[in-house]
Amino acid sequence: MLLSIRRVLRTAVCLALLLSLTGCFSPGPPPASDNPLTIQADPVRIWTACRQELKNRGFELQQVDLRSGRIETLPRTSSQWFEPGCQDVVTTDDFWESNLHTIRRKVTLVVQSIDSDRHRVGCRVQVERLAAEPDIISGQVRVRNIFGSAIGRAPAISLSDKPRRQQPQWNSLGRDEALEGHILLAIQKAMEPGRSS
């Protein structure tokens, strides 16, 4: 009896902890932000704010091309319940999805010049899920290759009988508009007068 009460209490504490973690996320629609966003500021300051915002959210930059106006990140596996400091999942639904599946996100920011001091910043967050497929073993499997021949010799290993390891397959889930809105709002706030980036 005492053991079952402890189990119930332990389960209740774990559920309370998980529910308190989900309170950090914004349930519902993304914040109101235009995509692309028009910012009036120095281009160097905009580029610095864009790079800093991506780094703050845990993304590693793959390509920063000033000439084409693109910043791309490497795909980042989305945070789970034991990573409360990461900021790449912003809604409760995305939080639970990243805990149930292996999800990754990749961010692309595009900065385009309108005139000398106005720039348009667009954000796209691509979401992918790891396909859960078993490894496929190619080649023939024969009992004598596993157990050896009747004489007791060890089986010979040939290249054709080795299992081939496949690359993981990622299925596209579309865009994460909530995260796009959060990133653009953070960049816009960094451009406010009196803030240093």
Q: Which helix (H) or strand (E) holds 38?
A: strand 37-40
Domain 29-131+169-197, CATH: 3.30.530.50
Q: Which residues pair with 128 in a beta bridge?
A: 104, 172
Give pairs for 57-61: CB < 8 Å, separation 24+. Answer: 57/86, 57/87, 57/88, 57/107, 57/183, 58/86, 58/87, 58/88, 59/88, 59/105, 59/107
What pLDDT digit, counting tens, does each position of 17-75 carry? 555 554 444 444 444 455 788 888 888 899 999 999 999 988 999 998 988 889 999 99
Task: Tell me the pLDDT tens digit for each residue of 132-185.
Answer: 765 444 455 555 455 554 455 555 555 555 556 677 888 888 999 999 999 999
Map out the domains of the chain as residue ranges: 29-131+169-197
